[in-house]
Amino acid sequence: MKKKLSDILYGVTILSVDGSTDKMVGELVFDSRKADVDSVFFAIRGTSVDGHTFIAKTIEAGCQVIIAEERIQVPEHVTLIVTENTHLALAIMASNYFGNPSEKLKLVGVTGTNGKTTTTTLLFNLFTKLGYHCGLLSTVVNKIGEVEIPSTHTTPDPVALNSLLAQMVLDGCSHCFMEVSSHAIHQNRIAGLSFKGGVFTNITHDHLDYHNTFAEYIRVKKSFFDHLDKEAFALVNLDDKNGMVMLQNTKAKKSTFALRTPADFKAKVIENQFSGLVLNLNGIELWTRLIGDFNAYNLLAVYGVSMLLGEDSTQVMTAISALESVEGRFQYFQSNSGIMAIIDYAHTPDALENVLKTIANIRTKNETVFTVVGCGGDRDKTKRPKMAAIACEMSDKVILTADNPRSEDPNDIIEEMMSGVGGEHYKKTLSIVDRTQAIKSAISMADKGDIILIAGKGHEKYQEIKGVKYDFDDLQITIDLFKKLEK
């Protein structure tokens, strides 16, 4: 597919142009190794690599169009376009290149620290049940209808993102529900997209390795809502103290949801059992298979989006009652010996606390709660002692283990977690680096009726150690260990 360069430059802030824009181009690339005679190369400054250092290499490979943030000497046959921000230019040009597919969909973005994956997946499943052909862009998987496309990032790069949206349009999708990460907002990956609505779930301690301060993290999330247009809606969790902050400068229609505060969409938890939740949702009693207050918030957001998109309340309520939990999010099963295992992606202090609160609300107090948890390497270190402290405060037994250590030594990560364990909790806390052995130990110690929470990895099917991703699935490993140990 080739497009005229001048056509896909629409909306880009251009500081200077050397050469002709009357050229046909076939691909937008920001990896110099992929540049060739038909491509446009974007010189992007990353955290460790500066694309400007590879411009000469791309020209040698035949590339004739360069988008950069500084003016340099290039051969006469090469077009050099200088802009203030190549990240932003890439996003806008990618949208133009693929025919601005987001304008042809009801695109809803969900942002927040916790609940993004569950909310987007529930929306996809709900609207599919309502008879729509939908797209999904999530941490776990991307989907066009029932066709699954592996997911590598919470929010794909602008070229991959717009390509997926274009495929959805071509396949007849009417709606798309996507996770919007703070990294994607900050890196302008979603610039140029036309959103029908935005949802704010909550904001808690996370990604401070990237954003440096909590105030900056909030500012980045807020900027998503700042850029929504007046035809869109902005739906926020009013029980989160930053919910109203998200709405301060938005032009979009403002709507709220809450469990504890008066809001446009309100719910009260009537029953919370392993069999499901009973909610009073906007005055109507509703049973759902999902569990816990955090899922009550997710369902409120889903209901709110449905109403803001003009769906029938009764049909939506009926469809919600048939929804099932999302993979790796409070995914539970009971072994033959009567031990309850719960797999959850909780990898922030707030998410871990929410899951353990849910368990505390359901348990009878006659059982032992085991928590197996680790923290990821090369990520925000300040949350490590906090997560260990929460696990100890809210569990009877704790096993600290490896998560995805990445380039770090997992022993060092566990040691940092241990700094959050108070002296009164030392006796109930174990450190077992090997995650399989940690899960095995919890199962070996558990008796009938006990509950084992295995937190941090959820849906992930790998463990990343020293740059290598090894097959590792918490759910499957737990099931296999139960079978072996129960023989």
> How many whole angstroms separate alpha carbon 39 and alpha carbon 29?
7
The SS3 of residue 469 is strand
Task: Convert the pLDDT of each residue in 9-32 to its tens digit.
Answer: 999 999 999 999 999 999 999 999
Q: What is the 3-state secondary structure (H, E, C) of 79-138?
A: EEEEECCHHHHHHHHHHHHCCCHHHHCEEEEEECCCCHHHHHHHHHHHHHHCCCCEEEEC
CB 202 within 8 A of CB 113: yes
Residue spans of the domains in the chain: they are: 3-96, 99-320, 331-485
Domain 331-485, architecture per CATH: Alpha-Beta Complex (3.90)
DSSP H stretches of helix in 374-434: 383-394, 410-418
CB 366 within 8 A of CB 449: yes
Query: Token pair of 368, please?
Result: 């032992």
Task: Convert the pLDDT of each residue in 358-389 to its tens digit.
Answer: 999 999 889 999 999 999 999 989 999 999 99
Write the CATH number of the domain with boundaries 3-96.
Answer: 3.40.1390.10
H/E segment holding residue 235:
strand 233-237
For the entire predicted model, the pTM comes to 0.88
Q: Give just the sign of the alpha carbon dihedral 289, 292, 295, 299.
A: positive
Other beta carbons within 10 angstroms of residue 161's beta carbon come to 26
Residues found in the chain: 487
Torsion angle (degrees, nearest 10) of CA 314, 322, 301, 457: 180
Domain 99-320 has CATH 3.40.1190.10: yes
* pLDDT for position 207: 47
Spatial neighbors of 438 by CB under 8 A, at least 6 apart, are 372, 399, 400, 401, 402, 430, 432
* pLDDT for position 205: 59
Residue in the structure block whose two tokens are 């007849």: 172
* pLDDT for position 213: 82
> How many whole angstroms separate alpha carbon 226 and alpha carbon 244?
12
From first to last of the 487 residues of the chain, give the pLDDT tens digit.
899 999 999 999 999 999 999 999 999 999 999 999 999 999 999 878 999 999 999 999 999 999 999 999 999 999 999 999 999 999 999 999 999 999 999 999 999 988 999 999 999 999 999 999 999 999 889 999 999 998 777 678 999 999 999 999 999 999 999 999 988 898 899 999 999 999 999 988 554 455 468 788 899 999 999 999 999 999 999 999 999 999 999 999 999 999 999 999 999 999 999 889 999 999 999 999 999 999 999 999 999 999 999 999 999 999 999 999 898 999 999 999 999 999 999 999 989 999 999 999 999 889 999 999 999 999 989 999 999 999 999 999 999 999 999 999 999 999 999 999 999 999 999 999 999 999 999 999 999 999 999 999 999 999 999 999 999 999 999 999 999 987 6
